[in-house]
Amino acid sequence: MGAEDARATAPPTTEPADRVTLVAKPTVVQGERPAPSYTLLSTARAVEDMLTAVRSAPVVGLDTETTGLDPLTDRLRLIQIATPDAAYMLDAFALDPRVIAPLLAGDGPVLVGHNLKFDLRFLESAGVPMPAGRRLFDTFLASQLLGAGTKGPKGEPLRHNLAAVVERILRITVDKGEQTSDWSGSLRAEQLAYAARDAAILPALADRLRGDINSAGLQRICDIEMGALPTIAWVEQTGVPFDADAWTRLADAAIAERAEVEQELTATTGTGGLFAGSSSVNWSSATQVATLLRERGHAVTSTDEAALQELADKGEPLAALLLRHRDASKRASTYGAEYLTWGTRAPAASMQVCCN
């Protein structure tokens, strides 16, 4: 990824056998400098050389390519590491990803990524240690902080994917065509060039975003967001203990309470239906509820919680019952059995809940 569209040439025959340097043929876009060459690491020795080279850099771009979007079922394929001057890639199908652990453990360069939570979860699943939050800078989160409450030039929601942020901040068009290609088989030169460019643009993007964050007075909240990243990634990846049976019992109790309250509502208003236990009123319908309240002498324009609470405080029994009905309905649906569909069961009876 980056300012240029690069296509890798054949590996030079002069390179050592433990690594292959693929030299990009860049086309300069909007006057930006060409993307650096990238090195595909093939041995542990090459990784050690890379670690030595990047440890002295103040900022390192970190990115991954994967076979899918689920760290629980899909696999890590590439790990991309980039400084402003060079990019490196490790094929996780060929080398144990844990060889990069020294770069992430302890102190070291600031690690810049875009939607780092995604990358951290895949790295965690491959046994790579989680870096400290103080070392992280997520350009996705930074863009969200800066763009909170703002719209695009045509009033559309502001987008925060990598291509949109790079276009907006650096005025560079990023080709993401290879993002959805097949990363599970033999990798093409175009895929490798794409992966290298994604990592190579991150240090420059972070530099601009950090300056904008400081100018906006958002440094403190930005630090909090970045510091929380490892914990959020770990919780989503590992899961938390969740007693689905107990949760279901609570949902069933809420369903029973809702039915009981509906019977009280029907009896209070005399709106029984043709069949025993039925009602001619849909108690979840704001329109029908407002009509009943008006028939009882209340000039209501809304049936929201505040309006019903005001009527209940004045002694209207129907309003108090309606508040109970809505509470039970909420617990029976959104926070009831439906809640169990928001995650996937993991080993040890954990539940993964998506927080994106």
Per-residue model confidence as pLDDT tens digits over 95-116:
999 999 999 999 999 999 999 9
Instruction: Copy the structure tokens of residue 92.
Output: 């996780």
* Alpha carbon separation from 239 to 57, 205, 236, 344, 354 (Å, rounded): 34, 32, 5, 10, 10
Give me the pLDDT at residue 234, please: 93
> Average pLDDT, stretch 329-341?
82
Q: Please state the rounded mean pLDDT for residues 314-335.
A: 92
Whether residue 130 contacts residue 234, with contact meaning beta carbons closer than 8 Å, is answered with yes
Q: Which CATH class is domain 7-238?
A: alpha beta
Percent of the chain with pLDDT over 70: 86
Are residues 165 and 152 in contact, defined by beta-carbon separation less than 8 angstroms?
no
Digit-coded pLDDT (tens) for 127-166: 999 999 999 999 999 999 999 988 888 888 899 999 999 9
Half-sphere exposure (Cβ direction) of 204: Cα atoms closer than 13 Å = 24
Gap between the Cα atoms of 187 and 191, Å rounded? 6
Segment among 28-32, 81-85, 173-177, 316-320 with least mean pLDDT: 28-32
Residues in the chain: 356
For 253-262, what is the mean pLDDT? 95
**C-alpha–C-alpha distance, residues 38 and 24, integer Å:** 7
End-to-end CA distance of the chain: 24
pLDDT of 19 strictly over 50? no
What was the pLDDT predicted at 30?
A: 44
pLDDT at 253 over 50: yes
pLDDT band at 343 (very low <50, low <70, confident <90, very high): low
Q: Give tens-digit pLDDT for 23-73.
A: 333 333 343 434 458 999 989 899 999 999 999 999 999 999 999 999 999
- The residue ranges of every structural domain in the chain are 7-238, 244-339
C-alpha to C-alpha distance for 291 and 215, rounded to whole angstroms: 53
Structure-model confidence comparison of residues 214 and 242, the more confident one: 214
What is residue 196's predicted lDDT score, i.e. its pLDDT?
Answer: 92
Task: Kindly tell me if the per-residue pLDDT of 7 is higher than 60.
Answer: no
Is the pLDDT at 175 greater than 80? The verdict is yes
More confident: 244 or 47: 47
Could you give the percent of the chain with pLDDT greater than 90? 68
| pTM confidence score | 0.69
Least confident of 5-19, 203-217, 277-291: 5-19
Backbone angles phi, psi at 205, to 5 degrees: -65, -40
- Average pLDDT over the chain, rounded to whole? 85
Residue 93 phi, psi (nearest 5): -80, -20
Contact 33, 172 (CB under 8 A): no
